[in-house]
Structure 1
Amino acid sequence: MALLDRCQVLFKTVNLYEVLGIKKEATEAEIRRSYYKVSLKVHPDRAPDDPQATEKFQVLGKLYAVLSDKEQRAVYDEQGVVDEECDVLSKDRCWDDYWRLLFPKITVQDILDFEKQYKGSDEERNDLLQLYTQHQGDMDAILASVLCCSQDDEPRLEDIIRAAIKDGEVEEFPAFAQESVKKKRARRKRADRERKEAEEMQKEMGLGQEDDSLMMMIKKKHSSREQNFNSFLSDLEAKYSKKGGKSSKRGKK
C-alpha cells in the first residue's frame, strides 16, 4: 500500500503535515520536533496496547524521510504526491534504527551540560521573549514553559523581559506590567512546595547534591500543567540530538 493510502487508513488523512500536526510552512526544525513527539506516542515499546503501533511507527518514519528530504518535499508540496520509488523510501531500512540514529537517548549529564550552556544564552533570551508574547505576559505560563527554569530564575528572566520592552522588542502586556503581589506570592509558595517535594524525591532516589538543579527541573516540569518532564525531554532530544549521525550544537555559549 502506498504511503499516502497508509496515512489515510492509520491517521485518517493523506496530508503529511496534518499527520504531524503542523502547517505546510513548517521549518525543518519544526518538522523534526513534531515527528519526534508524534512517533514517540506510537513507538511499539511505549504503546503496547495499540495493535497498529508498529505500522504507524514505520509510516511516520517514511513520512519524515520524505519531508526531511528537500527534493521529495518539494515534489510533495507542488504535486501532492509521493515518489514511492525514491531512494529515501526504496531503501531496505529498519525504521526503529533510523529513529534511534536521529534521536539518541538523552542522559542526565546531557541535561546538565545543556542547562549550563542554555542559561544566559541568546537562545534562552529568544525563547523567553517568544513565550512572553505567546502567553501575553502571564508569568505563570511563561515559567511553566521555559526550559531549565526554576523559581530562582524569575528575577533574572523578568529583567530580560523588561529590557526588551524598554527597547521596543516586545509589547508591554498588562498581565506582566500589572501582576499583583498576591499572584507572585502564590507562585513562590507553589515553588517552595515543589522544592520540598523534590528534596524528598532526591532522598528517596539516593541522589547527591550535584543533582539538585536537575531534580528541581524534573519536579517543576513534572508538576507543570503545560509541560511535564517527558515533554521537556522530547523538546530537548528533538532540538539538540544528533542529525544524520553528526552532532549538532547544544545551545550557544
Structure 2
Amino acid sequence: MGLLERCHELFNTSNLYEVLAINKDATRAEIRRSYYKVSMKVHPDRAPEDPHATEKFQVLGKLYAVLSNKEQKAVYDDQGLVDEDSGVLSQDHCWKDYWRLIFPKITVQDILEFETKYKGSEEERKDVIQLYMQHEGNMDAIMASTMCCSQKDEPRLCSIIQAAIQNGEVTSLPAFTQETYKKKVARRKRAAKEEEEAEEMKKEMGLGDEHNSLVMMLKQSQKSREENFNNFLSDIEAKYSKKSEPKKGKKGK
C-alpha cells in the first residue's frame, strides 16, 4: 500500500498537507514544526494506548521526508502523486532515529539562551499579536499561551498589543480594552500562587536562583496551551533545534 493510501487509512485523508493541518503554501519551517507537533501526538512512547501509533509515526516520517525534499514536494504539488520508488521512501529507515536526528533534545542552557533572545524580539511581538487575535483579546489566554512569559511580563505584553491597536495593525477588542479590574486582580493572584509553586519546584529540582525563569517556564508548560501539545518545550525543540536534518538518501538502521 502506498503512502497516500496509508495516510487515508490512518488519518482519514490522503492529502499530505491536511494530515499536518497546514496549507500548500506552508514554508519549510512551518512544515517542520507541524510535523513535530503531529508526530508528538502519535509517538509510540507517548501514545502507548493507540494500537496504530507505530504505524502512524512511520507514515508521518515518510510524509515529512516527501514534503521536506524539494523535488518530491514539487512532484506532489503539481501532480498529487508520490514517487514510491524514490530514494526518499525506498530506504529502510528507522523512523525513530530519523525523528530524533531532526529534533535533538535541548538542554537547560538552550532554553535560557532562547529566552534571552526571544524576549523583546520581533518574533515575540508577532507571536503576541497573533495570540491577541486568536484569543479575541482575552489576556488570561494570551498570558497562558505566550512563551517565556510570567506575570512581570504582562505590562510589556499589553504595551505591544496597545501599540498594534494604535497603529492599526489589529482591531480594538472589548475583552482587552474593557477588561475589569476584578479580572486583572484575579490573574495576579493566580500568578502569585504559581510563583510559590515554582519556588517549591525549584527546591525539589535542586536549582539555583539563576534558574528562576526556567522553573517558571516549566511550570507554565503544565497548563493547557494549544490543546496540550504546543507547550513551551515542544515549540523550542521544533523551532530551534541546533542540529541539521539527516542527509537524504542515507540508509538508516
Superposed pair shares fold, TM > 0.5 = yes
Deviations 1:73-113 (A, max 9, x none): 22212222111112211233222221111100011111111
Query: Residue 82 of structure 2 corresponds to which residue in structure 1?
Result: 82
Deviation at 1:27? 2.6
- Measure the CA separation in 2 of the matches of 1:51 and 1:175: 43
* CA-CA distance at 1:149 after TM superposition: 0.4
Please give the alpha-carbon distance, in whole angstroms, between the structure 1 residues aligned to 2:43 and 2:221.
Answer: 22
Mark the CA change 1:221 to 1:34 in structure 2 (over 3 Å): closer, same or farther: same
Distance 1:161 1:181, change over 3 A: same
The one-letter code matched in structure 1 to 2:89 is L
Q: Which amino acid aligns with 1:163?
A: A
For structure 1, list consecutive stretches of 5 or more residues without a partner in the other structure: 247-253
Q: Does the Cα contact within 8 Å between 1:144 and 1:226 map onto a contact in 2?
A: no
**8 A Cα contact 1:6 1:59, kept in partner:** yes
Identity over the aligned pairs, expressed in percent?
Answer: 72
For residue 207 of structure 1, report the CA deviation from its aligned partner.
1.9
Please show how residues 57-136 of structure 1 align to structure 2 within 5 Å: 57-136=57-136
SS in 1 for 2:19: helix
- Return structure 1 stretches of 4+ with deviation > 4 angstroms: 224-230
Aligned to 1:150: 150
SS at match of 2:222: helix
**1:245 Cα deviation from its structure 2 partner:** 5.6
Q: Could you say if the C-alpha distance between residues 81 and 228 of structure 1 is closer, same or farther in structure 2, counting changes exceeding 3 Å?
A: closer
What is the TM-score of this pair, normalised by structure 2?
0.89
Moved more, 185-194 or 156-165: 156-165
Q: Report deviation, 1:181.
A: 0.6
Whether the aligned pair in 2 keeps the contact of 1:221 and 1:229 (CA below 8 Å) is: no
Pair 1:223 & 2:245 matched: no
Please say if residues 221 and 227 of structure 1, whose CA atoms lie closer than 8 Å, have aligned partners that are also in contact. no
Structure with more relative contact order (C-alpha pairs < 8 Å, separation 6 or more): 2
RMSD over aligned Cα, in angstroms? 2.0
Which residue number corresponds to residue 201 of structure 1? 201
TM-score by length of 1: 0.89
1:26 aligned residue: 26
Tell me, in whole angstroms, the C-alpha distance in 2 between the residues paired with 1:229 and 1:9: 23
SS of the residue corresponding to residue 4 of structure 2 reads helix
Cα distance, 1:201 vs. partner?
A: 1.7
How many corresponding residue pairs?
Answer: 246
Give the Cα–Cα distance (whole angstroms) in 2 for the partners of residues 34 and 126 of structure 1: 18
Q: Which residue of 1 aligns with 2:177?
A: 177
- In 2, the alpha carbon distance for the partners of 1:90 and 1:22 equals 25
Bigger mean CA offset, 199-208 vs 219-228: 219-228
Deviations 1:54-90 (A, max 9, x none): 2221111000011112221222122221111122112
